[in-house]
Structure 1
Amino acid sequence: MKTFNVPIIYRSPLITAIKNRRKQQDRMKKDFTPTVLDFGPLKILLARHFGFCYGVENAIEIAFRTVDENPGKRIFLLSEMIHNPHVNNDLLAKGVQFIMDTAGKQLVPWEELTPEDIVIIPAFGTTLEIESKLTSLGIAPLQYNTTCPFVERVWNKAEQIGQQSYTVIVHGKPGHEETRATFSHSRSNTPTVVVKDMEEARELATFITGERPVDGFYSLFKGQYSEGFDVTRDLQRVGVVNQTTMLATETQAIADYIKNVIMDRYALSAENVSERFADTRDTLCYATNDNQSAVTGLLQEEADLAIVVGGYNSSNTSHLVELCEVKLPTYFISSDEKLVAANEVYHWDFHHKQELHSLSFLPAKEPVTILLTSGASCPDALVEAVIRKLLSFYDLEYKMEELAATFA
């Protein structure tokens, strides 16, 4: 796979050495057991897969290269490059401006842009409407495009099945930049509706089966369906694609559920279900799958707690937290700075969108075993910093160099 020129400040020699060792031992990526970092009174179980994915590294390389190659020019990002505050703040420090926030609220009026300005499309992609707006301003919308190739693959699949007269069901968060972009691209080809979770998929199914009157659809899914959507006509042939950072198992469960509803509704078998349900399994992102499978592997081990590192508005990171929470006390932190002391931590409650301050953190026992992972937009340097901070609570910082030597 292609390698990228990512700024060294995001790299970690230790994490790189660990990842390279695991890759050499397991080139087919079938082993999801964690890497054990045993420091005596502290044991850290590091996930098999975590950190920057292909799409994130691609976006970072393009963004920083664009800044370096265009001194003196005004450079804008449509919104956050990725959902990691450290990377976004580094770009802001280099003079890059955000045109919108992550919710789509305008920060820089379109009228202030000129044809001489550079506009970078973030890793999530953007809508066709925004591409058209940039074109009208004399700015080539795709000249500095960092859209993740796996996001584009979802768009291509939506277009492909749309051309075969399937309606597209997008499993995603309606307000997320990626889902807004996917919805825009899909609806330009075929009727499209967004469902955020299994509960909404079940609601949608009642309109597929005719259990509920069609008028209810338009209020229940307000803002989540394409213009001119005809419930009676457009839910007879469907396919499911996803926001690539969603919980992969949930996307598959939704697709399987809708498929079974279609089979029952039209008395179809596995052999002829494709008449009304499109196979879209290849739209699931490899990194999302790998990172979530690695957490599943982590959770097979006995541990006292889990730490997940990443941006608080990162969808893929929140799903790793969601998996860990089922089994263990889980602390979602954005950096090592949130680990204040052995008994004090600031961490994010993504369910209620608030940062919590907890005064019970590390249990008073030895050894303490911690599961550790990070989201796909989290630099490895932050994971190393978290390990160092945890070691400092046990006066074991010197063990870091010993550990690095074992993987060199």
Structure 2
Amino acid sequence: MKSFNIPDYYRSTIVSPLKELRRKRDKLKRDFTPTLLDFGPVQVLLARHFGFCYGVENAIEIAYKAISENPDKRIFLLSEMIHNPEVNGDLLSRGVRFLMDTAGRQLVPWAELTQDDIVIIPAFGTTLETQQKLAEVGLDVERYNTTCPFVEKVWNKASQIGHKAYTVVVHGKPTHEETRATFSHSKEAAPTVVVKDMAEAQRLARYITGDVPKEQFFVEFKGQYSEGFDPEQDLQRIGVVNQTTMLASDTQGIADYLKQVMIEQYNLLPHEVERRFANTRDTLCYATNDNQDATYALLTHTADLAIVAGGYNSSNTSHIVELCEEKLPTYFIESEQKILSQTLIRHFNLHQKEEVVTESYLPSHEPVTILLTCGASCPDAVVEGILLKLVSFYPGSRSLEDVMIDIQQTYNA
């Protein structure tokens, strides 16, 4: 896989070598067992896959290239390039400005832009409508376009099945930048509707079967369907694509469910299924799958707690947090700075949508076992900082050098 040029301060002298060691020993990615860092009184199980994915590293390389190549120009990002405060904060400190917030609200009026400005398209991609506005200003929208190739793959699949007269069902968060972009591209080729979860997919199925009047669809899915959508006509042939950061198992579950609905509605034999339901399995993002599979494997191990690092508005990270919360106490933090002491941690509560402080998050017994992972937009350096801070609370811990030697011997045996 391509190697990207990203700032060294996003790398880790601990985590990055561990990843490379595991990669060399398992090039086909068949081993999802976590890496054990045994410090004695505290043991850390590090997920097999986590951190910057291909699309994120590609975006970071292009963004910093834009800064270095244009020292005398104004540089704008459409919105957050990725959902990580460390990365976005660093870009802002270098003079980059956001044109919109993550909800799509304008921060800098289009009228203020000139053709001499530089605009970076974020990794989530953008809508055709925004592309048109930038083109009208005279800006080169492709020069610094960091759209993830796997997001573009979803767009291409939506277009392909649209041209075969299928309607596109997008599994995603309706207000997320990526879903808004996918919806915009998809609706150019096909009637399109967004479902955020299985509950909405089940409600959509009632319009496939005709169990509820179509007029109700326009209320129930307001803001989530393309112009001119006709549930009676447009739900006779469908295909499912997804926001790449959703849980792969959720997307597959929705696709399998809607496929079965079509089979039963039209009495389809196995060889007839694709007449009504398009095969779109190849649109699932490899990095999202790997990180989620690594989390499932991580959770098979007994532990006292889990710590998940990443931006609080990161979709892929929030899904990892949800998986961990099902099994054990889980603390979602942006960086080691949220670990206030050995007894206090400030973390994000997904359900309350706010930071909270928890006392006595570390158990009093030893050894303590901690599961540690992060989202696809989180730098390895952040994970290193968290690891070292946790270990610092246990003065009797083995040295990092001895722990690393143990790991090298294990995987070089």
TM range (shorter): over 0.9
Q: Superposed, which structure 2 residues align to 1:233-244 within 5 Å?
A: 233-244=233-244
1:232 alignment counterpart: 232
Tell me the CA shift for residue 396 of structure 1.
Answer: 5.4
Q: Superposed, which structure 2 residues align to 1:195-274 within 5 Å?
A: 195-274=195-274
1:28 alignment counterpart: 28
Structure-2-length-normalised TM-score? 0.97
* Distance in 1 (alpha carbons) for counterparts of 2:273 and 2:178: 29
Is residue 38–residue 403 contact of structure 2 (8 Å, CA) maintained in 1?
Answer: no
Q: For residue 65 of structure 1, what is the amino acid of its counterpart? A: K
Tell me the CA shift for residue 17 of structure 1.
Answer: 1.2
Tell me the CA shift for residue 269 of structure 1.
Answer: 2.0
SS in structure 1 opposite 2:331? strand
* Distance in 2 (alpha carbons) for counterparts of 1:78 and 1:129: 13
1:396–1:18 CA distance, 2 compared to 1 (3 A): farther
SS in structure 1 opposite 2:14? helix
1:303 alignment counterpart: 303
1:89 is aligned to 2:100: no
Q: Give unmatched runs, 5+ long, in structure 2.
A: 409-413
Tell me the CA shift for residue 272 of structure 1.
Answer: 1.1
SS in structure 1 opposite 2:68? helix
* Distance in 2 (alpha carbons) for counterparts of 1:158 and 1:106: 28
SS in structure 2 opposite 1:332? strand
* Distance in 1 (alpha carbons) for counterparts of 2:316 and 2:201: 20
Q: For residue 186 of structure 2, what is the amino acid of its counterpart? A: S
Q: Give unmatched runs, 5+ long, in structure 1.
A: none
* Distance in 2 (alpha carbons) for counterparts of 1:394 and 1:11: 25
Per-residue CA shift, 1:325-348, capped at 9, x if unaligned?
111000000000111111100000
Per-residue CA shift, 1:104-158, capped at 9, x if unaligned?
0110000000000000000000000000000111112222100000000000000
Q: For residue 206 of structure 1, what is the amino acid of its counterpart? A: R
2:354 alignment counterpart: 354
Is residue 39–residue 398 contact of structure 2 (8 Å, CA) maintained in 1?
Answer: no
SS in structure 2 opposite 1:277? coil
Q: For residue 10 of structure 1, what is the amino acid of its counterpart? A: Y
2:109 alignment counterpart: 109
1:107–1:397 CA distance, 2 compared to 1 (3 A): farther
Q: For residue 152 of structure 1, what is the amino acid of its counterpart? A: E
Tell me the CA shift for residue 14 of structure 1.
Answer: 1.1
Is residue 37–residue 407 contact of structure 2 (8 Å, CA) maintained in 1?
Answer: no
Is residue 59–residue 148 contact of structure 1 (8 Å, CA) maintained in 2?
Answer: yes
2:154 alignment counterpart: 154
Tell me the CA shift for residue 406 of structure 1.
Answer: 4.9
* Distance in 2 (alpha carbons) for counterparts of 1:346 and 1:374: 16
Using the aligned pairs only, state the percent identity: 64
What RMSD in Å do the two structures reach over aligned CA positions? Answer: 1.0
* Distance in 2 (alpha carbons) for counterparts of 1:94 and 1:398: 39
1:167 is aligned to 2:167: yes
1:363 alignment counterpart: 363
Is residue 155–residue 185 contact of structure 2 (8 Å, CA) maintained in 1?
Answer: yes
Tell me the CA shift for residue 360 of structure 1.
Answer: 2.1
* Distance in 1 (alpha carbons) for counterparts of 2:407 and 2:137: 52
2:377 alignment counterpart: 377
Tell me the CA shift for residue 400 of structure 1.
Answer: 2.5
* Distance in 1 (alpha carbons) for counterparts of 2:401 and 2:313: 33
Is residue 388–residue 400 contact of structure 1 (8 Å, CA) maintained in 2?
Answer: no
Tell me the CA shift for residue 25 of structure 1.
Answer: 1.6
* Distance in 1 (alpha carbons) for counterparts of 2:220 and 2:375: 32
1:387 alignment counterpart: 387
* Distance in 1 (alpha carbons) for counterparts of 2:397 and 2:143: 46
Tell me the CA shift for residue 399 of structure 1.
Answer: 1.9
* Distance in 2 (alpha carbons) for counterparts of 1:110 and 1:313: 25
SS in structure 1 opposite 2:107? coil
* Distance in 2 (alpha carbons) for counterparts of 1:346 and 1:165: 50
Tell me the CA shift for residue 20 of structure 1.
Answer: 1.2
Is residue 39–residue 397 contact of structure 2 (8 Å, CA) maintained in 1?
Answer: no
* Distance in 2 (alpha carbons) for counterparts of 1:145 and 1:354: 32
* Distance in 1 (alpha carbons) for counterparts of 2:72 and 2:284: 40
* Distance in 2 (alpha carbons) for counterparts of 1:116 and 1:297: 50
* Distance in 2 (alpha carbons) for counterparts of 1:281 and 1:106: 35
Is residue 21–residue 407 contact of structure 1 (8 Å, CA) maintained in 2?
Answer: no
1:10 alignment counterpart: 10
Is residue 388–residue 397 contact of structure 1 (8 Å, CA) maintained in 2?
Answer: no
* Distance in 2 (alpha carbons) for counterparts of 1:125 and 1:85: 19
* Distance in 1 (alpha carbons) for counterparts of 2:351 and 2:10: 28
* Distance in 1 (alpha carbons) for counterparts of 2:398 and 2:370: 19
* Distance in 1 (alpha carbons) for counterparts of 2:313 and 2:401: 33
Is residue 14–residue 407 contact of structure 1 (8 Å, CA) maintained in 2?
Answer: no
Tell me the CA shift for residue 402 of structure 1.
Answer: 3.3
* Distance in 2 (alpha carbons) for counterparts of 1:135 and 1:397: 58
1:284 is aligned to 2:289: no
Q: Superposed, which structure 2 residues align to 1:1-80 within 5 Å?
A: 1-80=1-80
Per-residue CA shift, 1:337-381, capped at 9, x if unaligned?
111111100000122211111012000101110111000000000
Q: For residue 248 of structure 2, what is the amino acid of its counterpart? A: A
Tell me the CA shift for residue 271 of structure 1.
Answer: 1.6
Structure-1-length-normalised TM-score? 0.98
Q: For residue 320 of structure 1, what is the amino acid of its counterpart? A: I
Q: For residue 344 of structure 1, what is the amino acid of its counterpart? A: L
